[in-house]
Amino acid sequence: MSETPDKPSKGWDAVLPRICSWGHFKCKDTGFEFLFFNLHMDHIGTKARVESAFLVQQKMKEFGTKLPAILTGDFNVDQTHSSYEALVAQGVLCDSYVTSDFRFALNGTFNGFDPNSFTDSRIDHIFVSPSFHVKKYGVLTDSYRSIKGTGEKANVKDFPKEIDIQAYQARVPSDHFPVKVELEFDKRRQK
């Protein structure tokens, strides 16, 4: 994502080269077609994020204005940033969090590898065309446990002394929690 999007390059004030992958999909059974985009915006470049938001929407129009679209990714900004506003202001895309009928795990998406962290900031988003009905939205905050490896015993009261209970450490597989949506296409809502 840059001023020269057809050539690998860093754009605007970005620290790293950033990309957006996309695909045109067609359901064999129904013939339903849609566009799917996934990106990773720069973590430092403020201008790069805003310009990337406009560039992605421009490319969506070039690839198929009549086709519904889904845009996912690590946007590196939350719902209060100008690049977020650039994506939703024109009504071409809707934030699935905002339009969902049901939300679960109301947590932000960045965790910094700490399973006990909490934030309201959602930096990983799923945007959809208005023709999609978002039935469910969720941030998957599951973690897994592994032995600390320090020989530390678990802080458990009232258990038989003959049982060796070691301390576990909660872990997450990524510094971001995954986002999940359940979508339904509604022809009547198509622009």
From residue 129, give the alpha-carbon distance in Å to each of 16, 117, 156, 170, 183: 29, 31, 50, 37, 11
Q: What would be the CATH architecture of the domain defined by 20-139+175-189?
A: 4-Layer Sandwich (3.60)
Higher-pLDDT residue of 184, 169: 184
What's the CA angle centered on 129, arms 123 and 131, to 5 degrees? 140
The pLDDT value recorded for residue 190 is 58
- Judged against a pLDDT cut of 90, whether residue 157 lies above it is answered with no
Write the pLDDT tens digit of every residue in 71-82.
999 999 999 999
- Domain boundary assignment for the chain: 20-139+175-189
Does the pTM of the predicted model rise above 0.85? Answer: yes
Q: What is residue 81's predicted lDDT score, i.e. its pLDDT? A: 93
Sheet with 94-95, edge to edge strand ranges: 20-26, 33-40, 69-74, 124-128, 94-95
